[in-house]
Structure 1
């Protein structure tokens, strides 16, 4: 299978043919791209953020459990230590949170920042929530706040050229470091 004006990239057996490029395979991202485990109708049934609190902390990548919200690692992180603070209650909009949920979400976010700084010396953070599908929410039906640690120089050529993020640590290792420090 040769392209008319390019090198043969796939051999007879379907395996890649060596060339001058190196590749970082990220097959786990295909589940995210295909929308695996996303609730289709916005109902709590099938919602991963409603299901995860029923799992043990290690399996659910849960870092901490509060009274009204919990913190967990993002399964598809932008950077190592990318976590989310999520209400237990299936609520889509920030204005729908109770005063207690709002307070605890803020407190757990502050604590998460302190822990990530202590464990990984983050230089800064992106913190926020995408409200609605049109705003980029992957799971719009269940509010979740992202806490993304940042370091000087962490945005290199890989995401721009290769549409790939290089993560130097497995999620289980990151969860253990942060959970132990929590």
Structure 2
């Protein structure tokens, strides 16, 4: 290409110079990055996990409800189908769970794996909880266990280079698929 054949690159204020790279914008993540709506301390009133249980399942992205725990999609998922198993009771530390809560949390985790396998055939799972802010808990005041479906090659250049995760499905669609399969399981 000669100089005359090349498109003129015009710098616009606040936009920058076009560089032919495609961008996936994820502005919703700024709320997470800035810590908006995160509870402070052990305050139950500001806890999003406590607030969710009063909402409609579809609006709250709740996949299933048990007697002592519920399963809800993560608003900032690592992968499609990333859900959390959360006790209804506002408790921060795993040893603080009652025996019954511990059993139902484990059973919900097993069922979440079974349901995810039937809906999207993941090759594996990451399962775990971050206990305390220093350990990476985004909402440390209310215990929650992550169930993250994984596929071979699901971590590609996007998160490494672009600090972006590409999710091929909207959260509402994912919730509907998992909730239907949960009822059928």
Residue 120 and residue 10 in structure 1: after superposition, are their counterparts in 2 closer, same or farther (change >3 A)? farther
Q: Distance in 2 between matches of 1:165 and 1:47?
A: 26
Q: Distance in 1 between matches of 2:11 and 2:73?
A: 36
Partner of 1:24, secondary structure, is coil
Q: TM-score, normalised by structure 1?
A: 0.92
| Structure 1: 4+ residue segments shifted above 2 A | 14-18
Q: TM-score, normalised by structure 2?
A: 0.91
1:45-102 CA-to-partner distances (Å, cap 9, x unmatched) read: 1100000000000000000000000000000000000000000000000000000000
Q: How many pairs align?
A: 174
Does structure 1 residue 81 correspond to structure 2 residue 81?
Answer: yes
Aligned match of 1:110: 110
Structure 1 unmatched runs, 5+? 1-7
1:119-144 CA-to-partner distances (Å, cap 9, x unmatched) read: 00011000000000010000000000
Does structure 1 residue 160 correspond to structure 2 residue 171?
Answer: no
Superposition RMSD on alpha carbons, in Å?
1.3
Partner of 2:147, secondary structure, is strand
Does structure 1 residue 126 correspond to structure 2 residue 126?
Answer: yes
Deviation at 1:19, TM superposition (A): 1.8
